[in-house]
Amino acid sequence: MKAALLFLSCAVLTACNAAPSPPRLANAADWIREREAGFDRALVGETEGLPRAPAELSATLATGQREITLVEVVQLVEAQGLDLQIARERLAAAEAEEDIAHAAWWPHLSVGASLYRNDGQVQATNGDFLEVDKRSAWAGGEARLEFDLGAAIYGTRAASRRTEAKAHEAQGAADDAVTLAALYYFDLVESFARLGLAAEARLEAASLVALEQARLKAGSGLAASLARAQAHEAAVASAAIRARVGVERASARLVELLQLSPGDSLTPGASALAALDLVAGAWQPEAGQASGLLLELALWARPELRAAESRLAASEAEEARADFAWILPEFMVAARVGSLGQDYNDADSQNVYTAALRWDLGAKLLGERNLGRSHRRQAQLEHALVKGQVQREVRIAAAEYGAAQLAIAASEREVEAATLARDLARERHEHGAALFVEVLDSQMQFLRAHLARVAALADFNRAQFSLLRASGLWSTSAERR
């Protein structure tokens, strides 16, 4: 297991040293689809013996039901998720701003025509006023290149880095959307499984009530035992109501995230309740801490950290622009070609060429330099903050993944023991060798064991998505730069 994780981490880190940017892994939907056969194989061993909801149970849910699989959830959130669409639009805006910044290197072209006429007084250079009647007409075009050299050099560099940052943020938003959709999906899976267990428990509770009623009528039972059975039946009915609300809550959250019809009521696919295998190499929980290689991988691959690095590079470019603003001039070169005359019929050619240089040595230079340094230090601190968050998320996700693995094994043993205890208690009770309270306790323990198993399976699947997200291995269809 450790060797598999070591090999995976080393392979990715080797690719990191060989290439300037991380390779894009398979998108989320393809990643899951490739493992669908594995889901079915896992389902055979993982769901055997779990109580199923009766067929009529679906009638108790809202109308407009829609069965949905994990692959469909991922595809829908990538196509329709609002957070992801917002991130893409922010990237598009950053790309447009970069285009505007690069346009400073290109001349501005314009064409036009003008008419001028003055009838009346004008003042001569000696101060006298003259009565004149004059007019002029011009038609032509102008090419003008006018820009701040510092802004053109460093501004375009900063704009490019900001675009890179938005691209990484869009990748992070896609990763977040896929992860959140998967977590919501497994919430739905767990809630639906709980509802099935509650429905099965109601049938078991009703059979206990019927049994105690028959025993009391035959004179071999106790009124107290019947009362306990009826109280147990009522408690299980309340649990079923809460489970039904849990299904609707989980469905509503997923419907909102996927931008589906508000009237849809989602149900998970038939093979949803299984321990998936999305992480290459099992995590070893006994280590007690995240692997150094996994942390190193996350610090290289996480788009949030790379976005922070791009923002830092942009702030450094802006700081350099402020530092060299006093020495880099603003200049203008223009050429105006056209025809000028009293009117367009007698106009003759006119060519005007202009060139100018200007240095801005105003008092604002010092303030701009201080502002640039402050922005750069702020970007450095934000980078350190994101780095710490990534490290924390990896450690927590790794610990949760290891704990979830152990919880599955523990829940298997609990289910096995609880099933045996329930069967033995029933057999003893049927022969009059066990008190009803023993049967009732074993039944409750059986239900708790299966609920724990359902929670363990859902937690394990959620933990895998969280670990893939935290380590940066989870890649969606957004392109990494």
214-224 residues labelled b (16+ CB within 10 A) or e (exposed): ebbeeeebeee
User: Which run of H or of E encompasses 475?
Assistant: none
Q: What is the pLDDT of residue 34?
A: 52
pTM score over 0.85: no
Residue 327 confidence (pLDDT): 83
Chain mean pLDDT for the chain: 77
User: In the 3-class helix/strand/coil scheme, how is 430-452 assigned residue by residue?
Assistant: HCCCCCHHHHHHHHHHHHHHHHH
The token pair that represents 336 in the structure block:
């105006």
For residue 75, the tally of other CB atoms under 10 A from its CB is: 21
Residue partners of 52: CB distance under 8 A and separation at least 6: 196, 200
**Architecture in CATH of 2-471:** Up-down Bundle (1.20)
3-class secondary-structure state, position 186: helix
Please count the other Cβ atoms lying within 10 Å of the Cβ belonging to residue 151. Answer: 17
Pull the structure tokens for residue 38. Answer: 């594995």
Note the pLDDT of residue 457: 92
CA-to-CA distance for 247 and 250, rounded, in angstroms? 5
DSSP assignments along 118-162, one per residue: EEEEEE-TTS-EEEEEEEEEEEEEEEEEEEEHHIIIIIHHHHHHH
**Residue ranges of the domains in the chain?**
2-471
Q: What tens-digit pLDDT sequence spans the chain (481 residues)?
A: 333 333 333 333 333 333 333 333 345 555 455 544 443 333 333 333 333 333 433 333 444 678 888 888 888 888 888 888 898 899 999 889 888 888 777 776 777 766 766 777 777 778 777 777 777 777 878 888 777 777 778 888 999 999 999 999 999 988 989 999 999 999 999 998 998 888 888 888 888 888 878 878 877 778 887 888 888 888 888 888 998 999 999 999 999 998 888 888 888 876 557 788 777 543 444 444 446 777 888 888 899 999 999 999 999 998 888 888 778 787 788 888 878 777 777 777 878 888 888 887 777 778 878 888 999 999 999 999 999 999 999 889 888 988 998 999 999 999 999 999 888 888 887 777 767 788 888 888 999 999 999 999 999 999 988 988 888 876 533 343 3
Q: Which long-range contacts (CB under 8 A, 24 or more apart) does 198-202 make?
A: 198/236, 198/239, 198/240, 198/243, 198/244, 199/51, 199/53, 199/54, 199/57, 199/240, 200/51, 200/52, 200/53, 200/54, 201/51, 201/236, 201/239, 201/240, 201/443, 201/447, 202/233, 202/236, 202/237, 202/240
Return phi, psi of residue 319, to 5°.
Answer: -65, -40
* Residue 237: burial class (beta carbons within 10 Å; 0-12, 13-18, 19+): middle
Q: Are 405 and 461 in contact (CB under 8 A)?
A: no
The predicted pLDDT at position 390 comes to 92
In the numeric block, the tokens 């400073």 are attached to 104
